Amino acid sequence: MNGRRRYLRPLTLFILMGLFSLSLVGQLDSRLNIGGFDWETTIDYEAHYQSRGFAGNQTDDSLAADQAEDAASGLEQPMTSATEESAQAESQEAEPAFANTQEAEKADQEPAVKAAVKVDLNDIPQAPIPKPEQDREKPTILIHTVRAGETLWDIAKSYGITVNEIVATNNIKNQNRIQVGQALKILTVKGVLHKVAPGENLWEIAERYGVSLAEIADVNKITNPSLVQAGQEIVIPGATQLLIKDALVVNGQLQRAFDWPVRGRISSNFGMRWGRMHNGLDVAVVTGTPVRAAADGRVTFSGSMGDYGLLVIIDHGNSVETRYAHNSRLVASVGQQVKRGDIIAYSGNTGNSTGPHLHFEIRYRNTPVDPVKYLKN
């Protein structure tokens, strides 16, 4: 009997150790999922607790004790409300991280997409739209060639201008005598065509016509007004009458380009008289006759001067000067710009004079010349 017990004890111990080893291996395999089996421990906790003799409404203390005991035995615990909230929070925190990881991996795999750029339609080059014929810039001067059977009236009507404008622009002497093939200049703007005279400048022309210098330069596409040359034709916009300045000096020679200051009988010519030089031309007129400027210029003297009596002196530029003496009354003042034909004084008998008349002088380079040679008929 004692011998049997001696064998039973080791055998029992061996069996118990084997069972314990199998239990440990089963728990380890279930936790680490090794050994090729996918064991799921699904426990009905309600049945579990009922089998232990607990009611469904057990106290928190007893439930906690059971959970502790289950934990020690390797059983999963049911989640309390607090535990569920904590698990949900952890799940929510883990989801964005997982999402960010997926987005990062997706961004690495997909090619980079350029951000859309907003383009202003005004910055896109547009093909030029052809302008209608009437909107295109027209030249200031057109050339019309006279055809057989055409009259100035026909031409003027076709261009929407007047016959007088064509006559003035082309300096036509006889309106009824135009020839086939004759080239006529037609202005596309209202105005007159002015030919720059020698010694004339754009400032003087603008002042004569009463048109701004900027307007004349713009119409004629003149970038530098000081480069306007003699013989150049320019359009004077808005002008209705051609105001030509006769060139007083051409190539250093005085021209027959002066107007008569008064009209009357010549009482004394230029030259030697009574043993001394008579430097001007005497024209007999009654006292109070208007005396007019013989050409454009600037008044440099207006007053009394010795034998001249009441005298007016005008500087015409290019070393040309005219003098008007023996007047009864003066109108022009020093520094005044006068135009050809302006009244500058009234004739009289002042100074060294034998009777009412006008003493008129023309001086070139300060030398008196015979006025008759340079006065226009």
Architecture of domain 138-188: Roll (3.10)
Mean pLDDT is lowest, of 47-56, 167-176, 319-328, for 47-56
For residue 138, what pLDDT band results from cuts at 50, 70 and 90?
low
| Buried residues in 343-360 as b, exposed as e (16+ CB within 10 A) | ebbbbbebbebeebbbbb
Domain with CATH 2.70.70.10 in the chain: 254-373
Mean pLDDT, residues 134-143 taken together: 65
d(CA 331, CA 300): 13
| Closest of 121, 165, 122 to residue 142, by C-alpha | 165
Superfamily (CATH) of domain 254-373: Glucose Permease (Domain IIA) (2.70.70.10)
So what's the pLDDT on residue 196? 87
Residue-wise pLDDT tens digits, 228-270: 888 888 999 888 777 776 778 877 889 899 999 999 999 999 9
Instruction: Kindly tell me if the per-residue pLDDT of 202 is higher than 60.
Output: yes
Q: Are 258 and 248 in contact (CB under 8 A)?
A: yes
* DSSP-assigned beta bridge partners for residue 361: 323
To which CATH superfamily is domain 190-245 assigned? LysM domain (3.10.350.10)
pLDDT of residue 192: 85
Percent of the chain exceeding pLDDT 70 equals 66
Report, as an integer, the average pLDDT of 39-49: 48
pTM, to two decimals: 0.45
Q: What percent of the chain has pLDDT over 90?
A: 34
Residue range(s) of every CATH 3.10.350.10 domain in the chain: 138-188, 190-245
